[in-house]
Structure 1
Amino acid sequence: EICDDQAPRVIQAVGAAAIDASRVEVPFTAVQPEASQLWSRSCSEELVIPLGRSGAKNLQELRLGRGTNQHALIAGRTGSGKSTLLHVLVTNAALWYPPEELSLYLVDFKKGVEFKTYASRDLPHAKAVAVESDREFGLSVLERIDEELVERGEIFRRLGVQNLPGYRSLSDQPAMPRILLVIDEFQELFVEDDKLAQDASLLLDRIVRQGRAFGVHAIMGSQTLGGAYALARSTMGQMQIRVALQCSESDSYLILGEENGAARLLGRPGEAIYNDAGGDVAANSPFQIVWLGDEERDTTLAKIRQHAGPHFSRAEPLVVFEGSAPVRIEDAGSLLNATPDLGPQIWLGEPVAIRGPVGLPLKRQGGANLLLVGQQPEPATGLIAATIESLAHTLPQSTSDRVVLVDGTPVEDALAGRLASLADEHPGMAVKSWREADDAVAAFHSELKDRLANGQEDAPTRVLILHGLQRFRGLRTVEDFSFSASEGPPAPDKQFEELLRDGPTVGLHVVTWCDSVTNLNRTIARGTLRDFELKVLLQMSAADSSLLVDSPAAAQLGGDRALLSIEETNQLEKFRPYRLRGS
């Protein structure tokens, strides 16, 4: 007999035992190759990846490359085992196939680090790995694969072959691996009804339609396929392989078909239905996904990397994108290795796409001044610091006062002195206090007049950096309604306007940060704003963003993102700004 005090503990113990009793755990060893079979398979005809156990003895395999079985959709709610399934798929594929047989592009839009281990363990098959990915990076992966489709199409036409097996049958040709694209929570690509979503939809559709011939396969995972933000039905129709885990009744019908609700009956994590006939009920194959824990997975990945050998090298560097990771200027190879031979360049941060660092040249043309706007002092200071370091590498040290920094940071601010200390590390850089802003502008204005009067358009480039434009009251625009000609030099605000307008054509540029659009309008006349054709925006309201760059895009930025606008090329690019050293 159980007393009242013991009853809760007994009920909890029985509940826990019931959960354990319902858990079915198939070890990963059931599907992985023996040590002697590592990298033993070829996918010339078909890519076969064991995923779990179907029945008592049979293995359930993902088979891609034959007939219409080219791409797969995976759906399962939180806790259903979807992440485990994707890890089993990637890890086991890397065990059975060598890198010359299979390349992997791995993109995860979840707020987690599911795929990070494939980058940190240097998986030889991986071409790109993204965790906590931005939509722009996901799109760039699709663009990279689309470029691969075009390139393979040209090769196939030149050689007179129709598909990858035909290419593989030719002798003396370079290896051409199959490409497996895995995107978890792919619906994030479509959360906005914008051009990016439209481009992503078109690219995905092209990949699933044309990938068959070129050995390119897509695996799309999601917690739900319902809602407004989903893959086009025509594209889903091309994906014949469906894997359903525990999910709602509506999702069961969406992934398996309007008459196939079998997935709603799945009752335990890791239990799934494999269907390679577009959801036809007769093709349902229930199976149990093998269990692959984090420790076993990482140990297996280490063995794969060890098997590749110490001399393994990639044809191209592994592209790793970690959305929440800090962007350190100490790791900016392009900046640190730059020389004056490149001409004046400013690097600002890392892209949210597969390409090089985000930056811009300072050309000798009207409007080549850089304006930074945003109320976040630390990111703004980091951007100005990146500007200083960039110019330290790309402006000749022989130029006297090649960079003049006027720092408006309040002395009580925690960031006070950071920029001055950085500038002092590099020769040819002068530091002024905020009280000397008018004098600094006057000196640049005087040199502007000299260069224009003496035809010195090719004189060395110099840059005036005004950090904290809102603090420099002497530069604020003053309306002058007098009609008489004034004697003496122009007022500081007029000198500043002339410097912005005429300076870049003779190699005198201005880089400035202002904390808000309101303060910017107090300092610079509306007409003068056109002399800043280079702009960087931090997070701000949609109205302010539209005022500066004719787009509300800056309203959607997070705290660790910025927006670069270059009017000459109509470029509008989101990027991750470099942080201050040591922050």
Structure 2
Amino acid sequence: MRSSKVNERRKRVLTAIGNMRHQLGLVLGAARNARQDAETTLERLRLEQRIARVGIARADHDESLAAAMHHPLMAGLRDQFKATQAAFHAEAATVPARLRELIAQAAPGPASRPPTDWLGRIGTGALTVPPLWRIGSSTMDETGPFPVSVPLLDESHLAITSAPKTRATVDALVEGILLRVLSSMEPGAVRIHLWDIGQLTAVLPNLYPLSRTSAITVYDPTRLEDLFDDLAGHIRRIHTQTMQAGHTSLRSMRESLGQRTEPWRIAVLFGNGENWAPETLRELRRIAGGAVAAGISLIAVDLPTVLGGGVENIRLLDEKHAMTSMTGPDLVVSLDPPIPATEVSGAAARLAEALIERQGGPRTFNDLLPTEFGQESSAAELRAPVGFFEGDPVEVVIGDATPHVLIGGPSGSGKTNFLYALIGSLAARYPPDELALYLLDFKEGVSFAGLAPGRRDKSWLPQARLIGVNVNTDREFGLALLKFLADELRRRSAAAKEHEVTDLAGLRRQDPGGHWPRIVAVIDEFQYLFAGRDTVTGAATALLEDIARRGRAQGIHLILASQDIAGIDAFWGKPAVFEQCTLRIAMPKARRVLAETNNAAIAAPKWHAVVNHDSGVAHGNQLAHIPDASNREIFSTLQRKLWDLYAEEHQRPRLFDGAVSPLLDHVAAYATLSPGGRARALLGQAIDVDDKACAVELASAPGRNVAVLGTAIAEALSIMDASARSLARQYHPDEVEFVVCCLVDRCAPAVDQLVEVLKAEGHWVVRMTEDDIAERMTKIAGEAVGHTRILLLYGVDAALPALEAKLPGEIKSGLDHFRTVLKLGPSRGVHTIGWWRGTARLKDTLGFAGTDDIGAWAALDVQGSELTGFAAGQVVHWSPRPGRALFFDRSTHMTPEVMIPFDRPEF
């Protein structure tokens, strides 16, 4: 039993071992077969590599390769290669045709066509440029040559490496590319910069007919930094513009706007293989890295560096052949034959003539104007062309980025003409609800007077709110304008805070019903504001700095113009205003308007201006030809059109002419006077933005008397006359009594005329003489009447001897009674308006009682130092000026103000 079990176990073990041996045999057999297959595959691949190296055609004639291909294990390999060869040739046969089709699409017209089709023809405007430009051709097989083109504008740079004795070929290659570009674009759309380290002038000489235009600029070989400065400045300016507009490149902004805003630029640099300083190479690479986005392409010939950004390489093999990175190392490019030099020069001359014709075509003031007036919104900024460069308009932009403008130019340089071009261009685009102009001219002249209604032309510029002319001696008027702007700035800031916004655009969105136009204040010869070392200069400087800093956010902009910026001493050490004037306009020969190192204005031709939106830095220069805009007939045509559009809805501007004394009858304050209310004596015209009069309220309060001080007879008579006539309009005939005394014989005719006027209006007039003045003062001081009594005393100081004399038996003199009238009279309805010919004589009249009884005064030819005692003890800065008076009313004034006595006509 036990033996049978052992035998059964042994049998199972042997069976398992047999099965294992069988499986191992199968595995080993499969491994041998796999190895044989792998070895066969490897041998096949090795044979394929050998055949691929020599080609199937040569392999058929190689005995070892032919024998190997006929081995049974390599069956079908020869047929596979033949089929692949046939497919390749079939595919390759279509490549040249497809390349020709691609080039025709990517490089239309002069970009790829033979020169005979386009040489010397004038290109047309295009928003986009061809991405490829032909340089030659290459051949792949018997199907024929195909064109070879390279990228350039808006695409990449070109790096050309010459071979020995190929300079003429390089010049021809570059000339051909440049002529293709120039002939594809409209005149002025491309500018070329040439620099050759080894040549002073003969850089691509066949193109020199274009050098008399701005199409080509040749740089001194020793001044490479000039070219770098121009390119770097252009890149910074373009990048600033594009980033502010929300774009990453000039091409992107151009396509978004649908118009070309800047010309393309090509800079050709011949390095001749010479070594450069490391810093120069780093600067070149920095420029190359940002150039393409700014519309600049470099053509670098034999430069010892690798350019940054996209670069296409062309390496010459000899005078006719080259290799390019576009076609790779296996294809040789046959360069196009050079265009004959005479044909290049002739084509360049025709292109130059076309550009000159385009630049020199009729460009008038009307070309600055839009086809439809008043269609623009000023919510974001003000934008208007002021001139032309090469036929293209040159704009000024006044907004958050360039809030204020500084204009400079010597006499005769065209500064006034530029201001008219700017004002007219803005007014044509922005209606009065969008733009408010405040125009002030300090020099002796009437530059802006024509913008207000006149005797011959009743029209006015509707956008103008204020026009001030001939104010060279009235610096206070400039200060009044700055105070007005400061008040408006506070008003707008408060409104912006209320609506929780930070700028004018936001305020207009949140308050669409409000009236928030952009304000532009033009101050010509503004340096007169700071001509003296006095309170006017101090106040004007502080206000101007504040407005310059904060005005941009609230849409208040300054345009400051001057012949001589160097004469403004008040701003040295206080650069706040100039720093905020980021828009600089330099007329020919202007100095210190642009940056210190920017001398562009020195060489600017007549009737031109350098427009710079970058604080005067050289890279921001834009030269503009300014058309004739200041001619009265030219500008008045625009003014009448705008007047017809807007005059019914907008008031005429306030005209302040410092050379003209206003008539009392023409003053708004006088016209509105009528009986009733508190009477006010009008003394003269206030020097203010608003049409206001200087007035003294004759209330029943101590000190409500008026003194006129000085020996200027005409002005004194004017003030006395205006006071009486204005008061007469405010009383019915039975409500007022005028007591008149003239003690200056020269004034008697004028006083007689005034008396006749008062009587003609039905008023009660009493005359006093020197003989009875003491007696009448005694009576006036002692009696009470039921009406107002106005004492009009001319030359009071002449009556002092008569007043000082005491009558027999009297304790008090007439002067004592007069002093009582001055002290107590106002509370009883008795007011004195007197003329004293000196402050000392007024003090003698007042005695030891002080000056409180004279609550208001107007000083004429009296020095400020004499007025301290009458101005609450404060120091008075005043030097007499013809036709002006210093006015102070202690009840309303903190400091005296200058006023203009009315013109007193002969009746």
What TM-score do you get using the length of structure 2 for normalisation? 0.56
Superposition map of 1:311-326 within 5 A: 311-314=648-651, 318-326=653-661
Which amino acid is the alignment partner of residue 494 of structure 2? E
CA deviations on 1:508-542 (whole Å, 9 max, x unpaired) are 22211122335445555354544212211112234
CA deviations on 1:264-323 (whole Å, 9 max, x unpaired) are 22342x2221111111111111221111212211222111101226x3234xx6322111
Task: Give 2:838's match in structure 1, choosing from 494, 498, 516.
Answer: 516
Measured at CA, do residues 528 and 497 of structure 1 come closer, stay the same or move farther in structure 2, by a change above 3 Å? farther
Q: Assess if the C-alpha contact under 8 Å between 2:361 and 2:391 holds in 1.
A: no
Task: Give 1:107's match in structure 2, choosing from 429, 440, 459.
Answer: 440
How many Å separate the matches in 2 of 1:43 and 1:529? 54
CA deviations on 1:558-579 (whole Å, 9 max, x unpaired) are 2111111223444411111122
Superposition map of 1:409-424 within 5 A: 409-410=744-745, 415=750, 417-424=752-759
Residue 279 of structure 1 corresponds to 616
Task: Give 1:533's match in structure 2, choosing from 838, 855, 880.
Answer: 855
Measured at CA, do residues 200 and 24 of structure 1 come closer, stay the same or move farther in structure 2, by a change above 3 Å? farther
Q: Assess if the C-alpha contact under 8 Å between 1:108 and 1:130 holds in 2.
A: yes
- Greater RCO structure (CA 8 Å; 6+ sep): 1
Residue 105 of structure 2 corresponds to none
Q: Assess if the C-alpha contact under 8 Å between 1:53 and 1:60 holds in 2.
A: yes
Match of 2:702, SS state, is: coil
How many Å separate the matches in 2 of 1:24 and 1:78? 28
Measured at CA, do residues 171 and 363 of structure 1 come closer, stay the same or move farther in structure 2, by a change above 3 Å? closer
Unaligned runs of 5+ in 1: 1-22
- In the TM superposition, residue 360 of structure 1 has moved relative to its aligned partner by 0.9
Unaligned runs of 5+ in 2: 1-359, 454-458
Task: Give 1:178's match in structure 2, choosing from 498, 507, 518.
Answer: 518
Answering whether residue 884 of structure 2 is matched by residue 561 of structure 1, we say yes
- In the TM superposition, residue 412 of structure 1 has moved relative to its aligned partner by 8.5
Give the fraction of aligned pairs with identical amino acids, expressed as a percent.
25
Measured at CA, do residues 114 and 553 of structure 1 come closer, stay the same or move farther in structure 2, by a change above 3 Å? farther
Residue 40 of structure 1 corresponds to 375
Task: Give 1:165's match in structure 2, choosing from 499, 505, 510.
Answer: 505
- In the TM superposition, residue 548 of structure 1 has moved relative to its aligned partner by 4.3
How many Å separate the matches in 1 of 2:747 and 2:622? 68
Measured at CA, do residues 196 and 543 of structure 1 come closer, stay the same or move farther in structure 2, by a change above 3 Å? closer
Which amino acid is the alignment partner of residue 162 of structure 1? T
How many Å separate the matches in 2 of 1:172 and 1:543? 53
How many Å separate the matches in 1 of 2:410 and 2:788? 58
CA deviations on 1:145-183 (whole Å, 9 max, x unpaired) are 222222222222232333222334458533422111111
Residue 463 of structure 1 corresponds to 790
Which amino acid is the alignment partner of residue 394 of structure 2? Q
- In the TM superposition, residue 102 of structure 1 has moved relative to its aligned partner by 1.1
Answering whether residue 566 of structure 2 is matched by residue 244 of structure 1, we say no
Q: Assess if the C-alpha contact under 8 Å between 1:343 and 1:395 holds in 2.
A: no
Residue 245 of structure 2 corresponds to none
Q: Assess if the C-alpha contact under 8 Å between 1:545 and 1:555 holds in 2.
A: no
Which amino acid is the alignment partner of residue 242 of structure 1? R
Match of 1:341, SS state, is: coil
Answering whether residue 819 of structure 2 is matched by residue 497 of structure 1, we say yes
Q: Assess if the C-alpha contact under 8 Å between 2:738 and 2:789 holds in 1.
A: yes
Which amino acid is the alignment partner of residue 577 of structure 2? T
How many Å separate the matches in 2 of 1:531 and 1:168? 52
Residue 301 of structure 1 corresponds to 639
221-230 vs 164-173, which moves further: 164-173
Answering whether residue 625 of structure 2 is matched by residue 291 of structure 1, we say no
Task: Give 2:681's match in structure 1, choosing from 330, 337, 346.
Answer: 346
Measured at CA, do residues 129 and 571 of structure 1 come closer, stay the same or move farther in structure 2, by a change above 3 Å? same
- In the TM superposition, residue 429 of structure 1 has moved relative to its aligned partner by 2.2
Answering whether residue 538 of structure 2 is matched by residue 211 of structure 1, we say no
Q: Assess if the C-alpha contact under 8 Å between 2:527 and 2:567 holds in 1.
A: no
Which amino acid is the alignment partner of residue 403 of structure 2? Q
Measured at CA, do residues 228 and 300 of structure 1 come closer, stay the same or move farther in structure 2, by a change above 3 Å? closer
Match of 1:503, SS state, is: helix
Residue 198 of structure 1 corresponds to 538
Task: Give 2:737's match in structure 1, choosing from 402, 415, 421.
Answer: 402
CA deviations on 1:377-436 (whole Å, 9 max, x unpaired) are 11111111112112212244324x622111223169664622332332232222333433
Q: Assess if the C-alpha contact under 8 Å between 2:684 and 2:899 holds in 1.
A: yes
How many Å separate the matches in 2 of 1:547 and 1:474? 24
Residue 234 of structure 1 corresponds to 576
Q: Assess if the C-alpha contact under 8 Å between 1:545 and 1:554 holds in 2.
A: no
Residue 406 of structure 2 corresponds to 73
74-83 vs 23-32, which moves further: 23-32
Superposition map of 1:80-99 within 5 A: 80-99=413-432
How many Å separate the matches in 1 of 2:709 and 2:364? 55
How many Å separate the matches in 1 of 2:875 and 2:756? 36
Match of 1:556, SS state, is: coil
Q: Assess if the C-alpha contact under 8 Å between 2:520 and 2:558 holds in 1.
A: yes
CA deviations on 1:113-136 (whole Å, 9 max, x unpaired) are 111111223211111111123222
How many Å separate the matches in 1 of 2:859 and 2:816? 25
Q: Assess if the C-alpha contact under 8 Å between 1:395 and 1:402 holds in 2.
A: no
Match of 1:324, SS state, is: coil
Measured at CA, do residues 320 and 412 of structure 1 come closer, stay the same or move farther in structure 2, by a change above 3 Å? closer
Q: Assess if the C-alpha contact under 8 Å between 2:534 and 2:877 holds in 1.
A: no
Larger Rg: 2
How many Å separate the matches in 2 of 1:381 and 1:25? 57
Which amino acid is the alignment partner of residue 619 of structure 2? A
How many Å separate the matches in 1 of 2:439 and 2:699? 38
Answering whether residue 904 of structure 2 is matched by residue 580 of structure 1, we say yes
- In the TM superposition, residue 327 of structure 1 has moved relative to its aligned partner by 1.4
Q: Assess if the C-alpha contact under 8 Å between 2:851 and 2:869 holds in 1.
A: no
Measured at CA, do residues 555 and 154 of structure 1 come closer, stay the same or move farther in structure 2, by a change above 3 Å? closer
How many Å separate the matches in 2 of 1:416 and 1:404? 12
Which amino acid is the alignment partner of residue 567 of structure 2? G
Measured at CA, do residues 337 and 45 of structure 1 come closer, stay the same or move farther in structure 2, by a change above 3 Å? closer
How many Å separate the matches in 1 of 2:660 and 2:487? 28
Residue 143 of structure 1 corresponds to 483
Residue 130 of structure 1 corresponds to 468
How many Å separate the matches in 2 of 1:412 and 1:163? 59
Measured at CA, do residues 412 and 404 of structure 1 come closer, stay the same or move farther in structure 2, by a change above 3 Å? closer
How many Å separate the matches in 1 of 2:822 and 2:509? 64
Tell me the number of residue pairs that the alignment of Structure 1 and Structure 2 aligns. 534
Which amino acid is the alignment partner of residue 247 of structure 1? K
Measured at CA, do residues 467 and 109 of structure 1 come closer, stay the same or move farther in structure 2, by a change above 3 Å? same
Q: Assess if the C-alpha contact under 8 Å between 1:539 and 1:554 holds in 2.
A: no
Q: Assess if the C-alpha contact under 8 Å between 2:541 and 2:570 holds in 1.
A: no
